[in-house]
Amino acid sequence: MIGKYKHLVIMQVLFIFSFFILASAVEAKSDSNIPKNKIVALVYDDSGSMWEQSGNVPIDNWKYANYALQSFVALLEKQDQLRVVSMSSPTVPEPIELDERLRQHEIDQIRAWTGKRSTPLESLHTAINELKKAVDSNKNSDFWLIVLTDGIFNELNHLEQKLTTAQIEENKRGLFESLRELKEKMDQTGASFHSTLIPIESYLSSDELEIMADFKRQWTESSAGNVLVSNGEQDIIQRINEVAALMTNRDPSEQEKFDLHPVWDGNQLVLESPFPLRRITLIEQSAEENASFKEFYMNNQRLEQGMEGPYKVITPDDPAKLHPPIQGTFTHFKNVKGDGVIERGTYKIVFDKPLFEEQQKSIKILAEPAIDFRVDFKKNNGDGKLTSDREVFFAGSKMRLEATLLKSESNDEEIDLSDIDVKSLFEVEAEMDGVKLSLKYDSKVNKFIGDFTLPQKQEIPVNVKVNIKGFYQKVKESSLQVNPARKLSLVANTDTWSTPLDKLNEAAPFVITPMVNGEEMTSEELKKVFNKLKIETSSQLKIEKEQKGNQIFIYPKGLSPIFRTSAGDVPLHVTLPGQYPNEVAKETFTLTIEDISPLKKYGKDAVKALLWLALLVYIIGIIIKPRFDKNRISLEYKHSRKRERLRDARGMTENFHTNWIKRWLVPYLAEKKSIGDLTFKADRKKDRVLLVKESQDPNLIVRHEKLEGRSKKADIPIYHNDEIQIERSNDHSVYIFKSH
């Protein structure tokens, strides 16, 4: 039964350790100095309450805390620095040697630690002071403050009757003020700082839980740190491992989405990764003899000195024998050459001999990603082009955020994602001023992009999170400065501008110089916005505009006729939008157009009007003038000295052809034609003519009737086949009108 329980514990620890180095969210400043190592100050609770409850009931939180610390030491890199301040020695920051030759000895020493004392606040002050001193000479490092405690610090416990409320508040104020000072110092030097509190709350009373809740709140407020609550025992290991995960970049969620595709082939373990790695760790949880490693290959290239370890960890001897012991072995594989990156591809770990199936199952593989990403902000110029010039990042600007995956923190070579299933593996999201923005992968530029608009603020906080499901997760924190909108103005080159009305079209232009924040706008910028220029006036005036250099030339022009043009003070409302959002210059200028005498103002145009009127009257006269339809009408006439021979006389035909000038150039007057003794004029109706009254006499016979008294009274219309007879002594004539 005990064997089965031991096996269960081992498998549970295997599962817990599979989340080693799993990152929640690493806050990375946008400083170009990427931390190359970690400096850790860890406050370790070895107080009596870790060993037993009230009433001397034994517990083994101390054992799991000790095992977790051993594992934590095994997972750090040799360039890291670790100082542990135990509750039993609150003034002593114990340095832990991480050199490969000495690390196992340090792990063994930790396993022998015992304490059983109190929970002094001084231990936390010691750790804070250690980091304050370290930052002065290690600005490019990554600083961590980790506190593991199972209870309330003595000096903050109001259940302790020796302390007054004032003393507790003073102790609390001093602690969190010191923590704030540490955070501010890190920020001022540009160092990366992280803090994590791990409270073990499984045995706290309700009053103690209330005190702890206040402590956690102030911890977060003063240091912007994390709080990872533990339920004790093996959960302590898990929480410490989560802190170890915060120091690297792995994603504990959706583990099945990504693995290294391990394949056992005899005495070889073959792994594969589409991303560059920093380190591969094999954790062997077995009570049997540990496997012996021989060689490590990266893309068929043998890496000399690429193995580190193994480091063996085991729970210390438990006098109470509450739970079976746990043990493990950590072996690291890495590339010690060049930039230390294990290139993406295929890796092979060679053992001295083939492993049994149980040995293979006891090995868990952890891959620490080497990748990093770069965040860029660019402004959309509106012409399809982007600029990274932060001088033009104004409120209201259309912006683009780009996240580019890089080979490592120290190598800005971009990773080609074209052959990777980006959609199913990646989640990239930004949070700007509390607003979330999803970034989508653009294969054309090999970047994750998202568009947004700059808000009306001086500065906005930006957090960009890149998550490769089951493998990598990192948050970069930065800020984006929003430039205040530039002040645009329009300045006239002359205080006054005036010209006489009749000289307006020849007058000098009205010149305006656009200004930007009190400086003259460049001609290049004016050229970009000139087509947006608007000039409006309520007066009767024509406006022409032109750009010359960095100035605006305005040409007021008169209307035709000139008296339509406004005179006096004429307001011009000029509006010039800038090339960036929320930029506009609006000014009103007054032009003076001097009025002229009525003769000058109206005389010339009055004469023109009369001439045009006369021409119009003339043209109308030409149009409405009655004319002969010379192609349709004619007049036949006969002439004889004797009446009885008139019918037999030879007839003649006369057409109504007239002079061209009289026909087309003389207006209104009906066209006239004299044939023989008679004169005719055209009628408005083309099928007839008029016998003018001047050529009539009383003896004239029209349509077989003498005119007699009707003679010379009015023009007589003559129709088709009408006869007109004239008898004068021995002269007889007959006229017959023909209309075809």
If one counts every other C-beta atom within 10 angstroms of the C-beta of residue 607, the result is 10
144, 191: one domain: yes
Whether 313 maps to a domain, the answer reads no
Residue positions counted in the chain = 740
Residue 439's SS3 state is: coil
Of 430, 460, 481, at which residue does a domain stop? 481
Phi, psi of 718 (to 5 degrees): -115, 125
Query: What pLDDT was estimated at residue 12?
Result: 43
Structure tokens at 403: 């996240």
From 458, 515, 459, select the one nearest 487 (Cα to Cα): 515
589 vs 152, higher pLDDT: 589
Please say whether the beta carbons of 250 and 220 come within 8 A. Answer: no
| 606-652: pLDDT as tens digits | 898 899 999 999 999 999 999 999 888 988 888 776 666 666 667 78
Crossing angle of helices 165-189/122-135, nearest 10°?
Answer: 20
**How many independent structural domains does the chain possess?**
4
Q: Are residues 517 and 652 in the same domain?
A: no
Assess if residue 118 is contained within a domain.
yes
Of 219, 244, 239, nearest to 148 by C-alpha is 239
- Give Cβ neighbours of residue 190 (< 8 Å, ≥ 6 apart): 29, 31, 33, 139
CB contact at 8 A, 68 and 110: no
> Among 129-138, 205-214, 307-316, 641-650, which stretch is predicted with the lowest mean pLDDT?
641-650
> At which of 576, 598, 620 does a domain end?
598
Same domain, 212 and 92: yes
Average confidence (pLDDT) over 297-314: 86
Specify if 422 maps to a domain: yes
Kindly state whether residue 6 falls inside one of the protein's structural domains.
no
pLDDT at 473: 85
Question: 521 and 437, same structural domain?
Answer: no
Report the CATH number at residue 656.
2.60.200
- Cα dihedral sign for 728, 731, 732, 737? negative
241 — pLDDT class (breaks 50, 70, 90): low
Residue 323 is assigned to a structural domain of this protein: no
pLDDT bucket at 148, cuts 50 / 70 / 90: confident
639 shares its domain with 581: no
Q: Please tell me what DSSP assigns to residue 486.
A: P
Amino acid at 406: L
- Kindly state whether residues 468 and 385 are assigned to the same domain: yes
Give me the sign of the Cα torsion angle 103, 104, 107, 108: negative
425 lies in the same domain as 497: no
> What span, in angstroms and rounded, lies between the C-alpha atoms of 193 and 131?
10
Whether residues 511 and 457 fall in one domain: no
Q: What 3-state DSSP class applies to 691?
A: strand
* Same domain for 497 and 435: no
Bridge partners of residue 481, in order along the sequence: 459
**Co-location of 117 and 184 in the same domain:** yes
Please say if the pLDDT value at position 21 is more than 50. Answer: no
Continuous segment of H or E residues that includes residue 171: helix 165-189
Residue 486 has pLDDT above 80, yes or no: yes
Q: pLDDT tier at 13 (50, 70, 90 boundaries)?
A: very low
Backbone angles phi, psi at 574, to 5 degrees: -110, 130
pLDDT reading at 4 higher than 60: no
Average pLDDT over residues 29-46: 68
Q: Could you tell me which residues come within 8 angstroms of residue 88 by beta carbon, excluding any fewer than 6 positions away?
A: 46, 47, 114, 115, 116, 117
Is residue 477 within 8 Å of 30, Cβ to Cβ?
yes
pLDDT at residue 99 in the model: 92
pLDDT computed for residue 56 by the predictor: 66
Q: What is the CATH number of the domain that holds 441?
A: 2.60.40.2450
Q: How far apart are CA 476 and CA 470, in angstroms?
A: 19
Burial class (CB in 10 A: 0-12, 13-18, 19+), 199: buried
Match 């400043």 to its residue by tokens: 29
DSSP class of residue 20 equals: T
Read off the amino acid at residue 361: K
Buried b (16+ CB within 10 A) or exposed e, 279-299: bbbbbbbbeeebbebeebbbe
Alpha-carbon distance of 447 to 443, in angstroms, equals 7
CB 542 within 8 A of CB 563: no
Domain shared by 637 and 579, yes or no: no
Tokens of 719: 């129709």
The verdict on residue 5 lying in a domain is no
Q: Which residue in the block uniquely carries the two structure tokens 């004619």?
A: 634
Range name among 244-248, 489-493, 569-573, 633-637 with the lowest pLDDT average: 244-248
- Domain end marker among 465, 481, 497: 481
Question: How many whole angstroms separate alpha carbon 610 and alpha carbon 427?
Answer: 83
Cβ(258)–Cβ(349) under 8 Å? no
In the chain, the amino acid numbered 56 is N
| E-strand stretches of 274-391 | 277-284, 293-298, 301-302, 307-314, 327-333, 345-351, 363-369, 372-380, 386-387
**pLDDT at 8 exceeding the cut of 50:** no
Three-class SS of 365-407: EEEEECCEEEEEEEEECCCCCEECCHHHCECCCEEEEEEEEEC
Write the pLDDT tens digit of every residue in 535-564: 999 888 999 999 999 999 999 998 888 888
Same domain, 456 and 584: no
At 519, which CATH number? 2.60.40
* 736 backbone dihedrals φ, ψ, rounded to 5°: -120, 125
Calculate mean pLDDT across residues 587-595. 92
In a domain, 699, yes or no: yes
Domain of 159? 24-247
Query: Rounded to whole angstroms, how far apart are CA atoms 14 and 719?
Result: 130
Percent of the chain scoring above 90 in pLDDT: 36
Inside any domain, residue 701: yes
Per-residue pLDDT at 215: 86
Question: Using CB atoms within 10 A of its CB, is residue 538 exposed (0-12), middle (13-18) or buried (19+)?
Answer: exposed
Work out the number of other CB atoms within 10 angstroms of the CB of residue 611.
10
- What pLDDT shows up at residue 582? 83
Q: Which two tokens stand for residue 740?
A: 């075809």
